[in-house]
């Protein structure tokens, strides 16, 4: 990429800060001009956040949401990556499984909420199941495509060195497909974070999603509703940035070298 097209280091921080400041100013003056008594101003949201921190409930909700995402997403990774690599390695098996997967994949995880409650009841297990479903299919598809896109010369070289199929899959194809797999993991993590908020509004009694519903139902505290929404967005941004950093590591980029 041309160096002239890359923003300077200071621009990467300056312009986002300016954009955030403009949005806050637009929010503040929109509330003042409309004279609304329902939608809170930035100052009221700040006071609501301070109130949650004083009552020592905010961190517990954040931790509960992150814990559910970690478990559900972790299970999806543990199951989805081996399955996706296997299906990518054996196209015949993929042809057998693919129709069923294509039927289930477009179904929103939210549509599974009644089924999750029937199977697991109201609690963490239902939310974790929904997060698993949301993250599982993007991971499997990314792994299948990642293996399929590995140049055949890698496979031939591995066979020439006497690698067995499991060794070839683990030591050659997986590292070569890892950049594309990480993209799938990043997408799956974003979906998992979306799903946990929706699941917590219905299936559990803690977390940021529950905080939104509880704040609305308990005295219509829309300052707390907006505060929780902003926290969800901020945490989602942090998770996304962390995964983008993983994608830039040299140890996971070698799979792209054949394209240069």
What tens digit of pLDDT does each residue of 51-90 get? 888 877 788 899 999 999 999 999 999 999 999 998 988 8
Cα separation, 94 vs 116, in Å, equals 27
What is the C-alpha separation between 113 and 130, in angstroms, rounded?
Answer: 7
Cα 129 vs. chain centroid, distance in angstroms? 15
Find the Cα–Cα–Cα–Cα dihedral 219, 223, 226, 228, rounded to 10°.
-80
Interhelix angle 42-54/9-34, nearest 10 degrees? 100
Model confidence at 259, pLDDT cuts 50, 70, 90, reads very low
In our burial notation (b when 16+ CB lie closer than 10 A, e otherwise), range 150-168 reads beeebbeebeeeebeeeeb
Question: Where are the chain's structural domains?
Answer: 42-259
pTM of the model: 0.83
pLDDT of residue 65: 93
Q: DSSP characters for 9-53?
A: HHHHHHHHHHHHHHHHHHHHHHHHHHT-SSSPPHHHHHHHHHHHH
Report phi then psi at 149, rounded to 5. Answer: -90, 0
What pLDDT was estimated at residue 6? 64
DSSP state of 123: S
Question: How far apart (Å, rounded) are the C-alpha atoms in residues 231 and 209?
Answer: 11
* pLDDT cut 90: percent of the chain above it: 23
Angle at 138 between CA 94 and CA 125, to 5 degrees: 110
Cβ-in-10-Å burial (0-12, 13-18, 19+) of 227 comes to buried
CA distances in angstroms from 129 to 21, 115, 170, listed in the order given: 38, 10, 28
For residues 193, 71, 73, 248, the Cα torsion angle rounded to the nearest 10 degrees is: 90
Domain boundaries 42-259, CATH class? mainly alpha
For residue range 181-223, list pLDDT tens digits in order. Answer: 888 999 999 999 999 888 888 878 888 988 988 888 877 888 8
| Span 142-184, pLDDT tens digits | 999 988 888 878 778 878 877 777 788 777 888 888 888 888 9
For residues 178, 182, 185, 187, the Cα torsion angle rounded to the nearest 10 degrees is -140
Q: Which of the four pLDDT bands, split at 50, 70 and 90, describes residue 141?
A: very high
């Amino acid at each position: 990429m041309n160096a002239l097209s890359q923003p300077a280091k200071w621009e990467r921080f300056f312009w986002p800060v300016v954009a955030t400041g403009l949005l806050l100013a637009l929010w503040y003056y929109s509330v003042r001009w409309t004279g609304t008594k329902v939608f809170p101003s930035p100052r009221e949201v700040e006071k609501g956040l301070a109130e949650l921190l004083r009552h020592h409930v905010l961190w517990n909700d954040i931790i509960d949401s992150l814990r559910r995402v970690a478990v559900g997403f972790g299970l999806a990774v543990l199951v989805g990556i081996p399955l996706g690599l296997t299906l990518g390695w054996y196209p015949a098996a993929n042809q057998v499984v693919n129709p069923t997967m294509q039927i289930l994949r477009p179904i929103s995880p939210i549509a599974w909420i009644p089924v999750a409650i029937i199977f697991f009841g109201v609690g963490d297990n239902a939310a974790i199941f929904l997060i698993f479903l949301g993250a599982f299919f993007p991971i499997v598809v990314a792994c299948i495509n990642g293996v399929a896109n590995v140049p055949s010369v890698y496979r031939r070289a591995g066979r020439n060195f006497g690698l067995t199929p499991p060794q070839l899959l683990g030591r050659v194809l997986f590292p070569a497909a890892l950049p594309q797999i990480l993209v799938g993991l990043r997408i799956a993590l974003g979906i998992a974070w979306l799903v946990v908020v929706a699941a917590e509004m219905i299936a559990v009694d803690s977390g940021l999603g529950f905080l939104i519903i509880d704040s609305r139902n308990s005295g219509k505290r829309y300052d707390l509703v907006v505060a929780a929404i902003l926290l969800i967005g901020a945490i989602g941004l942090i998770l996304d940035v962390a995964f983008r950093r993983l994608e830039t590591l040299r140890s996971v980029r070698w799979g792209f070298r054949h394209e240069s």
